[in-house]
A and B are shown apart, each in its own frame.
Chain A
Amino acid sequence: GAGVSQTPSNKVTEKGKYVELRCDPISGHTALYWYRQSLGQGPEFLIYFQGTGAADDSGLPNDRFFAVRPEGSVSTLKIQRTERGDSAVYLCASSQAGWTTDTQYFGPGTRLTVL
């Protein structure tokens, strides 16, 4: 079956612009996670969805970042007024039900570059 997909694979934008990053999880997975990986670092947690609701958004850096998952499947990460420091690879992962021991399957990521 299909894995987690993310679009676009690369996004170049100018400082101050608005961007949307999309994640298509594995079909039937109720849990969805967003992580951000900066150069030379490991991925950092941003937000966790269980179904349609954001169960934990404690990792979002500030109010310029927002994510939705309106139908419990596809999720969109939205970044307003982008800054150069937002440049990173944004990773999405999904798991069966969100339990600790459920394997998280990652997408290939979206590389965001803010000029």
Chain B
Amino acid sequence: DQQVKQNSPSLSVQEGRISILNCDYTNSMFDYFLWYKKYPAEGPTFLISISSIKDKNEDGRFTVFLNKSAKHLSLHIVPSQPGDSAVYFCAAIAIDNAGGTSYGKLTFGQGTILTVHP
């Protein structure tokens, strides 16, 4: 049962344009959402996060939008650069992982391969 889904396996964008990566989730207990970026042969690197009490968080060229009612989040990259080419993972953390405590147990989507062409 895939609780976090990234339905687009790949995305190709021209340099300077906007990249929009999408993510859907099914578990209503998720209350913290993150995007990770992964280059080949490296571990995932944290990019940006958003709490369920917000609908937008911005950090430089990266903005994450959260629509709780639709259980949907998206990552916008503006402007896209060739160095942004990587696999992007959406991830979520639930309010209550075990016995009322909350910690960083990440549930990941399948990933989207972003290619930014010069």
Segment with Cβ contacts to B, from A11-19, A60-68, A73-81, A104-112: A104-112
Q: Does B104 contact A (CB under 8 A)?
A: yes
A selection of 17 A-B contacts at a CB cut-off of 8 Å is A40-B110, A42-B89, A48-B104, A50-B103, A91-B44, A95-B104, A98-B104, A99-B103, A100-B104, A101-B32, A101-B49, A102-B104, A104-B104, A106-B45, A108-B41, A108-B43, A109-B43
Residues of B in contact, count (CB < 8 Å)? 28
Q: Which B residues fall within an 8 A CB radius of A? A: 4, 6, 32, 36, 41-46, 49, 51, 89, 91, 93, 97-98, 101-111
Residue on B nearest A111 in the bound complex, by CB = B41
Residue on B nearest A4 in the bound complex, by CB = B43
Assuming the A-B contacts A40-B110, A43-B89, A56-B97, are A91 and B104 also in contact, with contact meaning beta carbons closer than 8 angstroms in the complex? no
Q: Which A residues fall within an 8 A CB radius of B? A: 4, 31, 33, 35, 40-45, 48, 50, 55-56, 58, 91, 93, 95, 98-109
10 A-B pairs with the lowest CB-CB distances in the bound complex, closest first: A106-B43, A42-B108, A98-B103, A106-B44, A103-B46, A100-B102, A43-B108, A108-B43, A107-B43, A100-B32
Chain A residues within 8 Å of B107, by CB: 45
Q: Please report the number of residue pairs spanning A and B whose Cβ atoms sit closer than 8 angstroms.
A: 72
Other-chain contact of B44, A43, A50, A55, A98 (Cβ < 8 Å): A43
Other-chain contact of B108, A44, A48, A107 (Cβ < 8 Å): A44
Please determine whether A56 and B46 come into contact, CB atoms closer than 8 angstroms: no
B27 to chain A, nearest CB (A): 13
Please determine whether B105 and A45 come into contact, CB atoms closer than 8 angstroms: yes
Chain B residues within 8 Å of A35, by CB: 106, 108
Residue on A nearest B111 in the bound complex, by CB = A42
Other-chain contact of A31, B43, B49, B98, B104 (Cβ < 8 Å): B104
